[in-house]
A and B are shown apart, each in its own frame.
Chain A
Amino acid sequence: MLQKPLFWLSICVLISSAVLAYPLYVIQPFRFQGPRELAFSLALIRFRPIIEIALLGAALTLCWFSWHQARGALRKAAASACALIVVVFAVLSHINVYELMFHPIDRPTFSPAAGAKLDGGEEVIAVHIGTAARAYPVRSMSYHHIVNDMLGGLPIVATY
């Protein structure tokens, strides 16, 4: 393996990019998701930080070897580039595109019913727990989709 560090480095790049690209390919809004490909993609997303760290370790080791075997600046540069790509992918593996795009509400604030500036015909999602009642306007829920909330002492999540 250490005789051909550049070859194995490119394998590292290939695997680390596939680990990132496959879930992006499967989990698209306008693509049908089969149950097995979805399960595999979600498992991949959950475990990819570990996979990417392992690949990063391998890539840095291989890069170090190719520098010490030192056959031409071009090879050294290529090895470094490969290692750098794996570093970038390892960082990206912690990012979920959807979590960047959408903005759930974590610290919701409220107005009393009498003072709320809503049109009477606007739709709300209404919930009550004991004597505590709350309304979530559909207009904002269709943007935020998720509100991590508390009502009547109970932690609830409003979804739309």
Chain B
Amino acid sequence: MFQRKIDGIELRFHLAGINNQNFLMRDEQTGTYWQQITGKAISGPLAGHSLPLVSADELTFALWKLEQPQGTVLNDVARYAADYAPEDWDAKTAKVPTVLSYAEAGLKPRDLMLGVRAFGASRAFPFVAVLKEKLIQDRVGAEPIAIVVGGDERSVRVFRRRIPGSSEVADFYRIGRGGTSARPKQVNTNALLMDGQTGSEWNFQGCATAGKLRGLCLEPVSVIKDYWFDWRNYNPETTVYGIKQRIH
């Protein structure tokens, strides 16, 4: 997700090509080609520019609706709706061959990863491991972070673990009751975490809802879900959670 105004020019994008299975966009206004995953202009008059990133979340609709009851949802385009992804789209795409493969970490090219690029480092977390562990306390570069699975057992957010207004790093544990359904209708809206320092309770928005720190919110960290081959291609220095040795 990006802003689409550069140097005062509002750009309108087309899908105009592919670069090792990550697509290229062309803007109508200048004819520049942009890489989708990075938002970088790779050919044309604006080459070298980057589209400013707009932070986005990948959530289940049920969870999003609870958080943003006043929000709006993109409608299907009737003309094309019959061709939209079927239910088993994920499983089908997982079988599509790739042109890049980085087997160093024992990962398959289309393993889904949650990638964080922040604090001068890149780190990837296998999506299945995140869903299984539900709370991962780790570091990206030197910065302590927490990866949290939401009350829908599917959505994931990342936060810095520093308690706002102090230099203290919170140690969390999970207190929410977990469901088991992969396609949940019910979202658990109770607090998910408790910190070991003050016993305050924290929700999926990263905010303390009870206890001494009530009202404070952790700083969110951008995370993207990507295939391992694509993440590794654009983040050659990445480390992988759960794998000790340095990649490459």
Contacts and interface: CB of A to CB of B under 8 A. Distances in A.
Contacts of A1: none
B142 interface: no
Contacts of A22: none
A105 B15 CA distance: 11
Interface stretch (B68-76, B119-127, B132-140, B159-167): B68-76
Contacts of B60: 120-124
Contacts of A159: 1-2, 25, 36
28 contacts: A27-B17, A28-B18, A32-B20, A42-B24, A42-B44, A43-B43, A111-B75, A113-B64, A114-B65, A120-B60, A120-B65, A121-B60, A121-B183, A122-B60, A123-B154, A124-B59, A124-B61, A126-B57, A126-B58, A127-B1, A133-B68, A136-B73, A140-B81, A142-B85, A143-B83, A145-B15, A156-B3, A157-B11
Nearest to A128: B68
Contact of B154 (A31, A106, A121, A154): A121
A137 B73 contact: yes
A143 to B, nearest CB: 5
B54 interface: yes
B54 A127 contact: yes
Interface residues of A, number: 65
Contacts of A140: 74, 76-77, 81, 84-85
Contacts of A132: 71
Given A39-B43, A111-B72, A126-B57, 9 more contacts: A27-B19, A33-B18, A99-B16, A103-B77, A111-B75, A135-B72, A148-B4, A157-B1, A158-B1
Interface of A: 27-33, 38-39, 42-43, 45-46, 96, 98-99, 102-106, 108-114, 116, 118-129, 131-148, 154-159
B201 to A, nearest CB: 23
A110 B68 CA distance: 14
Nearest to B65: A113
Contact of A114 (B11, B42, B69): B69
A144 B77 contact: yes
A29 B21 CA distance: 6
B106 interface: no
B16 A98 contact: yes
Interface in B44-67: 44, 51, 54-62, 64-65, 67
B185 A121 contact: yes
Contact of A135 (B21, B74, B84): B74
Given A30-B99, A42-B43, A99-B16, A126 B26 contact: no
Contact of B74 (A33, A147, A154): A147
A103 B173 CA distance: 45
The 3 closest A-B pairs by CB, nearest first: A120-B62, A121-B183, A133-B71
Contact of B42 (A39, A123, A146): A39
Contacts of B31: 46
